[in-house]
Amino acid sequence: MWEVLESTRKLSEDSFQVQIDKQAIIDATGTLQNKGVQVPAWDCFYHWEGSDEKMVSYLLILDSINFCFWPEKGKAKWEIEYRSRKISGYYAMAASIGKAIESGVPLTRADYLAQLSLNSLKDILGGADNLQLLEDRLNILNEVGKVLLGDYEGSAGLLIEAAGKSALRLVRLLAEKFPSFRDVANYRGNEVLFYKRAQILAADLYGAFGGKDEGNFMDIDQLTCFADYKLPQVLRHLGILRYSSFLSKKIDQNILLKQGDLLEIEIRANTIFAVELMRQEFSRLGREIRAFEIDWILWNMGQDAGVGLKPYHRTLTTFY
């Protein structure tokens, strides 16, 4: 079995502070099925589109720094102006990088990334002093440029080619070559693998290229969902994830959970396994939806400001 799913399944069985309500999975999946919920199409409004090689570079850059968009306490969230509207979070990141490429900033060149400065990154992101972990994002982009130069002749396309049309091999390759993609935790002496951003890159390539060319992966169906802070928020709202009173109090009062804390690991692991159980339930109902597609559905639900969600858990981390 794919090691991300296997390690999170084992943890879920031993989880103390987070439980999966299997009846709620049946109920929620049935409701979504009855509503005829559709897998969201690839968003071409916020995402940049260009030549194949540059598209691969664009997505690698985007998913390298796709994390932690919530604001520090007492500060406003990071926003940009894009096509006459204010946008924030992931969409703002996707649009900012695309705008920079369109304006001639050579972001898709590995040598440029390797030497990118903090001031240049702030310019690219439209002034992001209130975006947390900005220096970490810079260090990650420098790392991406250096690894591409050292191992792949400066080409993101050669990195993808090295995976041999395997999404899982690409994820493992990213975790091996790029320390910033090595999203692994230790839970009571056992290694737990998440690989959130690495899996997202594989899924984004699939989405952007419509499952063809650089997005053609023979095992794309093996990806899990992407354990972040928005998905467990939605799963909790649906009653699928149930938190202990101790954990609920921490999250509802916006108390930070430290990266690597057992509470944080239990949330993320149970998120992955809960979505896998949803995938199985959809299949039982006669509909084949892959785990990463369920992720897309749930994530979009979480963007609906009127859904009345409780707070999401907050962990200051570059992994999500």
Indicate which residues carry an active-site annotation: 228
Task: Report the alpha-carbon distance of residue 188 to residue 52 in Å, rounded.
Answer: 43
CA 65 and chain centroid, separation: 10
Q: List the alpha helices (DSSP H) in 106-133.
A: 110-114, 118-124
In 3D, which of 309, 310, 311, 275 has the Cα closest to residue 295? 275
| Cβ–Cβ < 8 Å for 169, 226 | no
In 3D, which of 239, 196, 296, 213 has the Cα closest to residue 31? 239
Burial class (CB in 10 A: 0-12, 13-18, 19+), 122: middle
Task: Report the alpha-carbon distance of residue 180 to residue 166 in Å, rounded.
Answer: 21
CA 188 and chain centroid, separation: 25
| Cβ–Cβ < 8 Å for 120, 130 | no
**Across the chain, how many H-helices and E-strands are there?**
14, 6
Q: Residues, the chain, total?
A: 320
Task: Report the alpha-carbon distance of residue 97 to residue 105 in Å, rounded.
Answer: 9
Q: Is 13 helix (H, G, I), strand (E, B) or coil?
A: helix
Task: Report the alpha-carbon distance of residue 134 to residue 261 in Å, rounded.
Answer: 23
Q: In this structure, is the dihedral angle defined by the CA atoms of residues 160, 226, 207 and 56, taken in order, positive or negative?
A: negative
- The single residue listed with the structure tokens 């149970």 is 270
